[in-house]
Amino acid sequence: MSALRQAWSRLPRETRDSYFLLAVITAVIAPHADHLPLWSSALTALMLAWRASLAARQQPLPSRWWLGAVIVIYTGLTWLTFRTLVGREAGITLLVMLMALKTLELRARRDAFVVFFLGFFLVLTQFLYSQSLLMALWSLLSLWGLLAAVVLAQMPSTDAQGVPSIGIAARHAARTTALGLPVMVLLFVLFPRIAPLWGLPTEAIGKTGLSNQLEFGAMNEIANDDSIALRVKFDGPVPPPDQRYFRGPVLTRFDGKTWRAADTRPSQSWLRGRDDLVTQGPPLRYEMTLEPLRIPVLPLLEMSPGAVGTELPLTDLVLVRGPEMQWVSPRPITERLRFNATAHMAWKLGEHRPRMQRALDADLPPNSNPRSLAWAAALAGQPRFANLPPGPRAEALAAALLDHIRGEEFVYTLTPGRYGVDSPHVIDEFWLDRRLGFCEHFASAFVVLMRAMDVPARIVTGFQGWDAEPQDGYQVVRNANAHAWAEFWVEGKGWVRSDPTAAVAPNRVTQGLALRPEPGVIGQLNPTLWRAMRSGWETLNNRWQQLVLNYSRQNQFDLLKQLGFQQPDWTALGQALAGVILLLALAGAGWIRWSSRPHDAWSRQRARILGLLRRAGVDLPLHEGPGAWARRLRQRHGPQAEAAARWLEGLERARYAPGSAAPRWAELRAAARMLRA
The rounded radius of gyration (Å) of the Cα atoms in the chain is 37
Query: Which H helix or E strand runs over 49?
Result: helix 38-57
* Per-residue model confidence (pLDDT) at position 576: 79
Widest distance between CA atoms in the chain = 137
Is there a contact between 219 and 484 (Cβ–Cβ < 8 Å)?
yes
pLDDT exceeds 80 at position 676: no
In sequence order, which ranges of 487-617 are alpha helices (DSSP H)? 501-504, 506-510, 521-525, 527-544, 553-562, 570-596, 601-615
- In one-letter notation, the amino acid at residue 50 is W
Given a cut of 90, is residue 446 above it in pLDDT?
yes
Instruction: Quote the strand ranges of 465-521, DSSP E.
Output: 475-478, 482-490, 494-498
**Confidence at 157, pLDDT banded by 50, 70, 90:** low
Does the pLDDT at position 149 exceed 50? Answer: yes
pLDDT of res. 521: 47
pLDDT number for residue 63: 81
Confidence of residue 458 (pLDDT cuts 50, 70, 90): very high
Kindly give the pairing relationship between strand 475-478 and strand 297-298: unpaired
Instruction: Using pLDDT thresholds of 50, 70 and 90, give the confidence band for residue 224.
Output: low
Active-site position among 499, 569, 599, 600:
499
Distance CA 103, CA 113 (A): 11
Q: pLDDT at residue 88 above 90? A: no
Mean pLDDT of 610-620: 81
Cα 298 from Cα 462, distance rounded (Å)? 9
pLDDT at position 402 is 92
Is 499 considered catalytic here?
yes
Q: In the predicted model, what is the mean pLDDT of residues 218-227?
A: 57
**Do 220 and 304 meet the contact criterion of CB atoms below 8 Å apart?**
no
The pLDDT value recorded for residue 577 is: 78
Q: How confident is the model at residue 246 (pLDDT cuts 50, 70, 90)?
A: very high
Residue 448 is predicted with a pLDDT of 92
Higher-confidence residue of 361 and 418: namely 361
Q: What is the pLDDT of residues 100-125, one digit of tens each?
A: 888 888 777 777 888 888 888 898 88
pLDDT interval class at 449 (50, 70, 90): very high
Is 483 catalytic? The answer is: yes
Q: Evaluate if residue 624 carries a pLDDT over 50.
A: yes
- At residue 598, the pLDDT reads 65
- The yes-or-no verdict on residue 206 having pLDDT over 70 is no
The strands making up 245-251's β-sheet, listed across from edge to edge, are 277-280, 346-349, 494-498, 482-490, 457-464, 245-251, 300-301
pLDDT of residue 265: 47
User: Is pLDDT above 90 for 342?
Assistant: yes
Spatial CA neighbour of 245 closest among 446, 489, 512: 512
Low-confidence winner among 266-270, 497-501, 546-550 (lowest mean pLDDT): 266-270
Q: How far apart are CA 590 and CA 599, in angstroms?
A: 15
Residue 489: pLDDT band (50, 70, 90) is: very high
The answer to whether residue 275 is catalytic is no
Half-sphere exposure of 486 (CA within 13 A, CB side): 31
pLDDT for residue 285: 93
Q: Catalytic: which of 17, 344, 425, 439?
A: 439
Do 652 and 631 touch, CB atoms closer than 8 A? no
Q: Residue 207 has what pLDDT?
A: 44
13-29 helix and 133-153 helix, angle to the nearest 10 degrees: 160
Catalytic residue chosen out of the listed positions 344, 425, 441, 483:
483
User: Between residues 46 and 153, which one has the greater pLDDT?
Assistant: 46
Could you give the CA distance from residue 294 to residue 660 in angstroms, rounded to a whole number?
A: 82
107 or 346: which leads in pLDDT: 346
- Among 2-11, 469-478, 523-532, the range with the most confident prediction by mean pLDDT is 469-478
Q: In three state form, how does the secondary structure of 196-232 look?
A: CCCCCCCCCCCCCCCCCEEECCCHHHHHCCCCEEEEE
Answer whether 483's CB lies under 8 Å from 464's CB: yes
